[in-house]
A and B are shown apart, each in its own frame.
Chain A
Amino acid sequence: MLEFVVPALNLKAILPQLILALTALTVLLVDVFAGKDGKTSLGGLSLIGVVAALVTLFLSRGDFESAYAGMLAVDGFGFFITLIICLVALLSILVAISYEKVCPEIRSGEFYSLLLFAAFGMSFMGSASNLIMIFVALETMSISIYVLAGFKRDNLKSIESALKYFLLGAFASGFLLFGFALIYGAAGTLDIVKLGSFFTAHPDLLHQPLVMGGVALMTVGFGFKIAMFPFHMWTPDVYEGAPSVVTGFMATGVKAAAFAALVRVFFVAFAALQTDWTTIMWIAALLTMTVGNLIAISQTNIKRMLAYSSIAHAGYLLIGFVVGSEIARSAILFYLLGYAFANIGAFAVISAMGSKGEEYNELSDFQGVGFKYPMLGLTMSIFLFSMAGIPPAAGFMGKFFIFSEAIKAGYVWLAIFGVINSVISLYYYLGVIVRMYFKDPEREISIAAPAGTLVAALSLAAFGVLQMGIFPSYVWDLARASAKMLM
């Protein structure tokens, strides 16, 4: 009979995540026990939980260790990803609270607790150091997001979005899981660190079909989540249909979490295979950004446009992945955070546009917004500038770090393609700004004055974008320190 050794739990190390989960459960209970008045406090409660998670995250920073019997690596890398996730959750909740008026469904325990559970899963994905753990975290995240995407139950597009995401997501998860199984078959372990040392010790076993098939299938699974070409097809449909709050959340959180897992698995477990996957990822990066940017140009719906742009951003991030040096990994982290601020901000503006019930998602609806609603116009411009990579916004510094590192590492062509793509992307980002400031409105649109929480979210996101763009050193140092500690 097997003897169990009581594993070291180390609850303290995962305190932020525990707080997220506990808040999610509490929100559920408060929802069913509190009356109508209580429901208005759900958003605030979730907010408190996320802030508490953030605080504990910073308090416990420094004691990097492994937790849960090696299932989790609470290291710098995980720290930074959790930081991104918490900020993303914070901003999303702020936006959601202001969105409650338009979409009463949101004012329910399900919404906030699903959001928190998703954040919980994302954060674990960033620090999971076991393939099974990655899968469990991924499913926790994904299932919550499937439901969130379809949260506007009486909206056909929302339902379509949820269904498509679910079907394809399940499909891709299958590939991922199959990949894990093949790897287990080849190496006999699922622990990422052990996998790494196993393959370093047995280089002869590396190039067997089992491992190769496993790596290929894992690439499919992760590639789907980060919207890598050609697994990106779901993105525009899902982003368009989901409520704007959720879109912002999934476009940033899911991408960050999936990228984190991708980096951890490939750089820790399959570092020995780097020469093999570099080539294919090189091509994938190029195609991903090119396809994303090209199609974004001809979009007329801003959510679809941003969806394609998020594909393009995945391409830029993949450049960092291909380069693969430690600095490049820091650049990925930096870029993810900057992108998160800008993207959530942009979706917050879009949801503010729909603050009187009717959604204004067509690009032509943005005409004249800059003068009629100066705050929305200004913040939207900041976010779009950041995504386009124009100084002094975070996106510029992010792109700068990634491209300069690519050039240093000899991937000059990839950097050149990246820059060309940035130029292409200017067209559609600036197109929105031009519409906001230089064109007269086509139809009368009316937007309610932004609620306090929305203003808070917009200012926080704008502050983040500008802070990282003008004084990048603080976040950059943090990212450098974090990327160093990848267990």
Chain B
Amino acid sequence: MLRDYVPVMLMMLVGAGFGVVAVVLSSALGPKRRSRVKKETYECGMTTQGATYAPTPIKYYVVALLFLVFDLECVFMYPWAVHYKSLGVFGFVEMVIFMVVLFVCYVYVWKKGALEWE
């Protein structure tokens, strides 16, 4: 049984080994020249202007979250659609129930005002 996993283990070993070897080798072989510029935060970018902390409105997260949830639920519809014929009435009813539950949540979200931006 365990023997079946030997290739996987080998693969993992090789993968991890490659990463480790690369990092170690580059730090060992590469030349090191230290300077003040190199130590700066944005060494190769623009210097920041003003406060770096810009709050994102909480609504942004709410909408993003809602999108994610409803989007994920939609994924269920694909396999259902593919098998729609073979599932017949049963499948239809099931999907209606599912949609009703989703719809209740949607109504709730709407009435709670989570969709209003202002």
Contact = CB atoms under 8 A, between A and B. Distances in A.
Q: Do chains A and B touch in the complex (CB under 8 A)?
A: yes
Interface of A: 2-4, 6, 25, 28-29, 31-33, 109, 208-210
B107 A32 contact: yes
A32 B114 CA distance: 12
B88 A6 contact: yes
Nearest to A5: B86
Contact of B111 (A2, A4, A25, A33): A33
B44 interface: no
A68 to B, nearest CB: 11
B111 A32 contact: yes
Given A4-B86, A4-B91, A25-B101, 12 more contacts: A3-B86, A4-B83, A4-B87, A6-B87, A6-B88, A6-B90, A28-B105, A29-B104, A31-B108, A32-B108, A32-B111, A210-B1
Contacts of B83: 2, 4
Contacts of B101: 25
Contacts of A32: 107-108, 111-112
A210 B5 CA distance: 11
A57 B37 CA distance: 73
Contacts of B51: none
Contacts of B10: none
B2 interface: yes
A28 B1 contact: no
18 contacts: A2-B83, A4-B87, A4-B91, A6-B87, A6-B88, A6-B90, A25-B101, A28-B108, A29-B104, A29-B108, A32-B107, A32-B111, A33-B111, A109-B108, A208-B1, A208-B2, A209-B1, A210-B1
Interface in B86-108: 86-88, 90-91, 101, 104-105, 107-108
Contact of A209 (B2, B105, B108): B2
B104 A28 contact: yes
A209 B2 CA distance: 8
Contacts of B111: 32-33
Contacts of B2: 208-209
Name the 3 nearest CB pairs between A and B, nearest first.
Answer: A32-B111, A6-B90, A28-B108
Please indicate which of the listed interface residues B90, B91, B101, B108 has the most CB atoms of chain A within 10 Å of its own CB.
Answer: B108
Nearest to A28: B108
A442 B97 CA distance: 58
B15 to A, nearest CB: 20
A3 B104 CA distance: 32
A121 B108 CA distance: 21
Nearest to B105: A28
Contacts of B90: 6
Contacts of B91: 4
A25 B87 CA distance: 27
A29 B90 CA distance: 27
A29 B108 CA distance: 6
B86 A25 contact: no
A140 to B, nearest CB: 13
